[in-house]
Structure 1
Amino acid sequence: MNAAPNATSRRADAVHNRSALLAAGERVFARSGVDVPMEEVAREAGVGRGTLYRHFPSREHLLGALMEEQAACLAAEARRLLDEEPVWEGLVSWLRRYDEALARFRGAGHHVGPGLTGTSPVATACHPMRVAFAALLDHMSVLVRPGITAEQVLALVAALPKDPDTGGAQAQCLDIVVRGLRA
């Protein structure tokens, strides 16, 4: 007769399943984009749909969890730039890194741009990055056209037409945005 699993083994199993789902989500979203059926993530992780939805009730929850680390890195980079003199190249470099983060998963920009504010899982994951970028934009105010908000810039970059080969913003479109920011 088998004994029921104890709470410790259930917690370890849950941690394992969450890790497997995050790793599978990373691979599947990178390969097929964020609009792939969620069942493909579950299948890749080797778990059932119920396990997937227990850990990540929606696509936004999984995408938010996958973006947390990148958003934290972008926030740290923005805070680092705050310690320097306002240099245009620093702002441009940060925006290119943000675009690269969005390109990691095809279609992520459609979820990130509109999801920068509010209480969605993507907004929660991106909040530290958005706040740090707003401070950086304010720090660069002598170089940036007045009246432009961080949310506007981030949403605009997220919505730019994408290069089919890289998944990032088409270079000339990102350049137009960058030139339009300059005071």
Structure 2
Amino acid sequence: ALNFADAPSHVGSSGKPLFTTQLQLTPQTHEILLKTPALAAGYLGQPAKFAAKLTADGWYHTGDVGHLDEAGFLYVDGRLDDMIISGGENIFPDAIEAAYQSAPGVRDIAVVGRSDAEWGMVPVAFVVSDHPLDVAALVAFGRQHLAHYQVPQTFIPVVEIPHNGNGKVQRAKLRARLSAAHSD
């Protein structure tokens, strides 16, 4: 939890675990694991799904990936399912999307991973724009604001980005669209 006094100096943090909660990050992916007596007893009507997220010693796999700062404050970087591993680098679509929100001509953007023979996976961006996409300008913008491995390899113009009722990007639909385009 993030208390009011710490909020200004830890912008973007989820805070520190409450006293009854233990937190750890997995070594390779930095998935956030929690152990607490306050953990829910399960998912309603889905006991197997809940059991699959628990380790034998009671740690809960959240599916979120994050990091701790030097003071022990937790920052959530994204979802494990959305992470793109390219040439050994962990790439989070949210970081790319946040950078491109201020790019000229970009009204909305969503990023997913595509298989790549050389890098394993590479980021691909679906972009909503009121104008024809200037791919060279988008690449140049990315090179100024992102690490080289985060710059999308492909920019696909779309009319809209699919979102669910909570406003979250429906990446599975975008991945399916990408797969369908590459199987043609």
* TM-score between the two structures when normalised by the length of structure 2: 0.30
Higher RCO by CA contacts (8 Å cutoff, separation 6 or greater): 1
The answer to which structure has the higher helix fraction is: 1
